[in-house]
Chains A and B, each alone.
Chain A
Amino acid sequence: MQRLILAGGGHAHLHILKELAARPRADIEVILIAPYARQVYSGMLPGWMAGHYSLDQCAAELGPLAMAAGVRLLPDSVTGIDAGQQTVSTARHGKLSYDVLSLDVGALVDTSCLADTGARLLAIRPLEAFIVGWQAYVEACTQAGKSQLVVVGGGAAGVELALAARHRLRGLMPAASASVTLVAGRQLLSGHGAAIVRRVTDTLARQGVTVLSGHAAGCPAGVMLTDGRELLADAVIAATGVRPVPWLAASGLALADDGFVAVGDGQRSVSHPSVFAAGDVASRVDAPHAKSGVYAVRAGPVLADNLFRALAGEPVLSYRPQRRSLYLLATGPKSAIVSWGGFSAGGGWAWHWKDWIDRRFMRQYHLGKPA
């Protein structure tokens, strides 16, 4: 019997589980290797941080989904791949061979410029580690009655996390003691239109988040900025650039310039036809796009098709990532900013829209649970 290994429980793989539950394949052995029992939806993370959602609402339990799909779930981490031998090494289950392998293991945050900070360092990947770290931080600063949080990263994630953190912290202590600073790099939301940058800048100011331009390096007091200034911090959230999991380098797979798996238009490795990748672990060499969950979700259906086509020896279908994507930024209180192409708008209605989209998206993975 042919074996398909799904490494990682990302959004694209959730879709494959759903697909298999609807159309079971008795002729293929499918194994899902995932280090955590659930998959937390990153789009709802700011809402959870702000206190609007419980963690259950933001997470899909992998166990029931795998069972419904007839997939064997191995609770384990991938520690290496030998693409030439077609094997996957795991931390606790040894080596497994595959006929087709699909990678959806995400990325790590590059914290190498912040490693030396004396403050609590919270990297937003892996998400499960961030969740534990954020809860511990909230507890610690509730006790202390003050917070001095620095968020590093001026992209959409940095903005959302800073606003969510500020909203949560000001509910736990006097607003003036809940200090949140966003170190935004050269420019806030670079790559986004001027209108949305203006709107986000206003929102940050209104919510009481201090925004500094420049880059940050870790130092014992907290972080040092490019201009030499030191910012005192009790915690530093790293929402900076991503880096690949270290074992990819030795996998034998062709990698893109950024170190992630180089894939072509069917999400198939350009060097090894039996390997596919989607989500942040993959870089489309033909149509590079931002590393964002939106793309992983969209790639899911095509990836599912192509994995089964590859097992059957059929040619794969191509998938064209959308040129522009709809961004819905959560902005702390139950409010959001919408950005699509050059258009931007915001308010409570946008939050309700985002909330509806996110919960509807998650509902398909909540088996037997009220949504």
Chain B
Amino acid sequence: MTVHVENNQEIGCFIIVATVVAQLDIILVEAKNLSLAAKNARVVAIRAGEAALGFKSITNFIDEFSTKTIQTTQEINQHSNLLFKLALEQLRASQFEHHINRAYSLNDKSHIEIKRIKNDATQIFRESLTRFNSEMQALTLQFEEIRQQMRAAEYIAVTSRVEASQAGEYCDSLESVSDYIASAALRIKSAISINLSTLSQLKRIKVSG
């Protein structure tokens, strides 16, 4: 997904944070559905008894990683307020630097106090940029963590399919659970890819800005 940020990198930060936060909903809904699918599969596996013993233990894994994904996504969601605050802080720091530079150019004598504030303004802008980048880095790592969880989910989907094939009359319903895990993991991975690509766009803005 390409976010059009035009020439204003600070407004670009807002749009990028908003785009990332919007994708979080998709991840959260899929992770919640995964958790529900794990609970349903456990009931079916109990009903299947001896024939689905292997599948039953797999449902614990599904439940575990879906819970972890929900938790990480909720953490990111709570984090979004801070990200917006930092984006605003950066916008204000940038405006401050812009107006101080203008005052500097208006003053022929390059007044010593304006020089000092000009240095302060640059420092404030750099600090706000560092804080924003550091939070974005942390966000990237959180998305990488979910991506790892989804790789595990894909592996479990394959294993569960083997176990489902041995569950006799319950084979079809357990196989459909395996299919669901695989497709949900794919959808979450796709949402994460969009977010990571959006975040990398932010890095490019910073480098060129």
Q: Real complex partners, A and B?
A: no
Residues on A lying within 8 angstroms of B by beta carbon are none
Q: Which B positions have Cβ atoms within 8 angstroms of A?
A: none
